Amino acid sequence: MQDIVAEKKALRALARARRSTLGADEAARAGAEACAAMLAGLSPAPGEEMSGYWPMGGELDIRPVLRGFAARGTPILLPVVVARDAQLAFRRWLPGDALVPAGFGTSVPDPSRPEGTPGILLVPLLAFDARGFRLGHGGGYYDRTIATLRASGRPVRAVGVAFACQEVEWVPVEAFDQRLDAVATERGLRAFARSVA
Protein backbone atom coordinates (compact mmCIF):
# COMPACT_ATOMS: atom_id res chain seq x y z
CA MET A 1 0.00 0.00 0.00
CA GLN A 2 2.78 2.42 0.92
CA ASP A 3 4.52 1.65 -2.37
CA ILE A 4 1.52 2.71 -4.46
CA VAL A 5 1.02 5.85 -2.35
CA ALA A 6 4.67 6.76 -2.96
CA GLU A 7 4.33 5.98 -6.67
CA LYS A 8 1.31 8.24 -6.96
CA LYS A 9 3.06 11.03 -5.09
CA ALA A 10 6.08 10.84 -7.41
CA LEU A 11 3.85 10.73 -10.49
CA ARG A 12 1.93 13.79 -9.32
CA ALA A 13 5.18 15.72 -9.05
CA LEU A 14 6.24 14.56 -12.53
CA ALA A 15 2.85 15.45 -14.02
CA ARG A 16 2.89 18.94 -12.51
CA ALA A 17 6.41 19.47 -13.83
CA ARG A 18 5.39 18.36 -17.34
CA ARG A 19 2.35 20.61 -17.36
CA SER A 20 4.40 23.57 -16.15
CA THR A 21 6.69 23.33 -19.19
CA LEU A 22 3.87 24.57 -21.43
CA GLY A 23 4.27 28.22 -22.26
CA ALA A 24 1.24 30.51 -22.04
CA ASP A 25 0.73 30.64 -25.82
CA GLU A 26 1.14 26.88 -26.21
CA ALA A 27 -1.27 26.19 -23.35
CA ALA A 28 -3.84 28.60 -24.81
CA ARG A 29 -3.59 27.00 -28.26
CA ALA A 30 -3.82 23.47 -26.89
CA GLY A 31 -6.70 24.46 -24.63
CA ALA A 32 -8.64 25.95 -27.53
CA GLU A 33 -8.13 22.77 -29.57
CA ALA A 34 -9.25 20.54 -26.68
CA CYS A 35 -12.33 22.71 -26.13
CA ALA A 36 -13.20 22.52 -29.84
CA ALA A 37 -12.94 18.72 -29.68
CA MET A 38 -15.33 18.60 -26.73
CA LEU A 39 -17.82 20.97 -28.31
CA ALA A 40 -17.81 18.88 -31.49
CA GLY A 41 -17.63 15.42 -29.97
CA LEU A 42 -19.80 15.44 -26.86
CA SER A 43 -23.53 15.10 -27.43
CA PRO A 44 -25.58 15.49 -24.26
CA ALA A 45 -29.08 14.07 -24.46
CA PRO A 46 -31.91 16.61 -24.18
CA GLY A 47 -32.04 17.77 -20.57
CA GLU A 48 -28.91 15.82 -19.59
CA GLU A 49 -26.81 17.78 -17.13
CA MET A 50 -23.08 18.28 -17.65
CA SER A 51 -20.60 19.07 -14.89
CA GLY A 52 -17.42 20.97 -15.52
CA TYR A 53 -14.90 22.63 -13.26
CA TRP A 54 -13.56 26.12 -12.73
CA PRO A 55 -9.87 25.92 -13.70
CA MET A 56 -7.18 26.54 -11.12
CA GLY A 57 -3.42 26.36 -11.26
CA GLY A 58 -2.30 25.00 -14.61
CA GLU A 59 -5.52 23.13 -15.41
CA LEU A 60 -6.83 23.30 -18.95
CA ASP A 61 -9.43 26.10 -19.14
CA ILE A 62 -12.77 24.56 -20.16
CA ARG A 63 -14.87 27.68 -19.64
CA PRO A 64 -15.48 27.98 -23.43
CA VAL A 65 -16.99 24.47 -23.32
CA LEU A 66 -19.24 25.36 -20.40
CA ARG A 67 -20.43 28.55 -22.10
CA GLY A 68 -20.86 26.76 -25.44
CA PHE A 69 -23.03 23.97 -24.07
CA ALA A 70 -24.99 26.39 -21.89
CA ALA A 71 -25.80 28.36 -25.06
CA ARG A 72 -27.12 25.11 -26.59
CA GLY A 73 -29.44 24.58 -23.64
CA THR A 74 -27.43 21.97 -21.74
CA PRO A 75 -27.77 22.47 -17.96
CA ILE A 76 -24.28 23.11 -16.54
CA LEU A 77 -23.17 22.13 -13.05
CA LEU A 78 -20.01 22.87 -11.07
CA PRO A 79 -18.67 20.61 -8.30
CA VAL A 80 -18.76 21.48 -4.62
CA VAL A 81 -16.78 19.73 -1.89
CA VAL A 82 -19.19 19.13 1.00
CA ALA A 83 -17.03 16.99 3.31
CA ARG A 84 -13.55 15.48 3.30
CA ASP A 85 -14.57 11.85 2.69
CA ALA A 86 -17.82 12.48 0.81
CA GLN A 87 -18.68 12.54 -2.84
CA LEU A 88 -19.03 15.86 -4.62
CA ALA A 89 -22.27 17.80 -4.83
CA PHE A 90 -23.08 19.73 -8.00
CA ARG A 91 -24.75 23.15 -8.26
CA ARG A 92 -26.25 24.78 -11.34
CA TRP A 93 -24.19 27.46 -13.08
CA LEU A 94 -25.13 29.91 -15.80
CA PRO A 95 -22.71 32.13 -17.73
CA GLY A 96 -22.43 35.40 -15.85
CA ASP A 97 -23.16 33.87 -12.44
CA ALA A 98 -20.84 35.10 -9.70
CA LEU A 99 -18.90 32.36 -7.92
CA VAL A 100 -18.01 32.27 -4.25
CA PRO A 101 -14.61 31.22 -2.87
CA ALA A 102 -14.45 27.73 -1.38
CA GLY A 103 -11.72 25.58 0.15
CA PHE A 104 -8.43 24.71 -1.54
CA GLY A 105 -8.57 27.80 -3.77
CA THR A 106 -11.71 26.67 -5.60
CA SER A 107 -14.68 28.77 -6.68
CA VAL A 108 -18.22 27.41 -6.60
CA PRO A 109 -21.77 28.53 -7.36
CA ASP A 110 -23.66 30.27 -4.60
CA PRO A 111 -25.37 27.89 -2.13
CA SER A 112 -28.74 29.25 -3.28
CA ARG A 113 -28.27 27.68 -6.72
CA PRO A 114 -30.14 24.39 -7.29
CA GLU A 115 -28.26 21.10 -7.20
CA GLY A 116 -28.22 18.55 -10.01
CA THR A 117 -26.88 15.17 -11.07
CA PRO A 118 -24.55 15.13 -14.09
CA GLY A 119 -24.78 12.55 -16.85
CA ILE A 120 -21.51 13.85 -18.31
CA LEU A 121 -18.63 14.83 -16.04
CA LEU A 122 -15.67 16.83 -17.34
CA VAL A 123 -12.94 15.76 -14.94
CA PRO A 124 -9.65 17.59 -14.31
CA LEU A 125 -6.55 15.47 -13.75
CA LEU A 126 -2.80 15.50 -13.37
CA ALA A 127 -2.00 12.37 -15.42
CA PHE A 128 -3.77 9.68 -17.41
CA ASP A 129 -2.80 6.50 -19.23
CA ALA A 130 -3.96 4.57 -22.31
CA ARG A 131 -6.20 2.34 -20.17
CA GLY A 132 -8.28 5.32 -19.08
CA PHE A 133 -7.04 5.59 -15.52
CA ARG A 134 -6.43 9.07 -14.15
CA LEU A 135 -4.37 10.54 -11.36
CA GLY A 136 -5.96 13.43 -9.52
CA HIS A 137 -4.78 15.52 -6.61
CA GLY A 138 -5.30 12.71 -4.12
CA GLY A 139 -8.55 13.62 -2.36
CA GLY A 140 -10.56 10.85 -4.03
CA TYR A 141 -13.56 13.13 -4.60
CA TYR A 142 -14.07 12.28 -8.26
CA ASP A 143 -13.48 8.55 -7.73
CA ARG A 144 -16.15 8.44 -4.99
CA THR A 145 -18.54 10.53 -7.06
CA ILE A 146 -18.13 8.56 -10.29
CA ALA A 147 -18.47 5.25 -8.41
CA THR A 148 -21.70 6.41 -6.75
CA LEU A 149 -23.17 7.70 -10.01
CA ARG A 150 -22.30 4.46 -11.84
CA ALA A 151 -23.77 2.36 -9.02
CA SER A 152 -27.06 4.26 -9.33
CA GLY A 153 -27.64 2.66 -12.72
CA ARG A 154 -28.06 6.00 -14.47
CA PRO A 155 -26.01 6.52 -17.63
CA VAL A 156 -22.87 8.50 -16.82
CA ARG A 157 -19.80 9.41 -18.87
CA ALA A 158 -16.61 10.56 -17.17
CA VAL A 159 -14.43 12.53 -19.58
CA GLY A 160 -10.95 13.50 -18.42
CA VAL A 161 -9.59 16.85 -19.56
CA ALA A 162 -5.86 17.33 -19.97
CA PHE A 163 -3.02 18.46 -22.15
CA ALA A 164 -1.53 15.66 -24.24
CA CYS A 165 1.76 15.99 -22.33
CA GLN A 166 -0.04 14.71 -19.24
CA GLU A 167 -0.35 11.20 -20.66
CA VAL A 168 1.95 8.72 -18.93
CA GLU A 169 2.78 5.09 -19.60
CA TRP A 170 1.11 3.74 -16.46
CA VAL A 171 -1.01 5.20 -13.67
CA PRO A 172 -0.76 3.17 -10.44
CA VAL A 173 -4.24 1.98 -9.51
CA GLU A 174 -5.95 1.15 -6.24
CA ALA A 175 -9.28 -0.68 -5.87
CA PHE A 176 -11.28 2.54 -5.59
CA ASP A 177 -9.82 4.23 -8.68
CA GLN A 178 -12.42 4.76 -11.42
CA ARG A 179 -11.65 4.54 -15.13
CA LEU A 180 -12.55 7.36 -17.47
CA ASP A 181 -14.82 6.75 -20.45
CA ALA A 182 -12.81 9.17 -22.57
CA VAL A 183 -10.21 11.91 -22.41
CA ALA A 184 -10.11 15.24 -24.25
CA THR A 185 -6.79 16.82 -25.19
CA GLU A 186 -5.58 19.05 -28.00
CA ARG A 187 -5.26 15.82 -30.03
CA GLY A 188 -9.01 15.25 -29.86
CA LEU A 189 -11.57 13.27 -27.93
CA ARG A 190 -10.38 9.72 -27.27
CA ALA A 191 -12.66 6.96 -25.97
CA PHE A 192 -11.33 4.08 -23.90
CA ALA A 193 -12.24 0.42 -24.35
CA ARG A 194 -14.64 -0.95 -21.74
CA SER A 195 -12.49 -3.89 -20.69
CA VAL A 196 -8.83 -3.60 -19.74
CA ALA A 197 -6.26 -6.01 -18.41
47 within a domain of the structure (yes/no): yes
148 within a domain of the structure (yes/no): yes
197 within a domain of the structure (yes/no): no
What pLDDT shows up at residue 143? 95
146 within a domain of the structure (yes/no): yes
What pLDDT shows up at residue 197? 45
196 within a domain of the structure (yes/no): no
What pLDDT shows up at residue 103? 73
CATH number where 121 lies: 3.40.50.10420
Closest CA to 163 of 11, 10, 21: 21
Q: Which domain holds residue 30?
A: 2-191
CA distance 144 to 176: 8
120 within a domain of the structure (yes/no): yes
165 within a domain of the structure (yes/no): yes
pLDDT digit string (tens) for 136-192?
988 889 999 999 999 998 889 999 999 999 999 999 998 899 999 999 999 999 999
CB 39 within 8 A of CB 69: yes
Give CA 171 to chain center in angstroms: 16
CA distance 56 to 77: 17
**How many domains in the chain?**
1
pTM: 0.93
Residues of the chain below pLDDT 50: 197
What pLDDT shows up at residue 73? 97
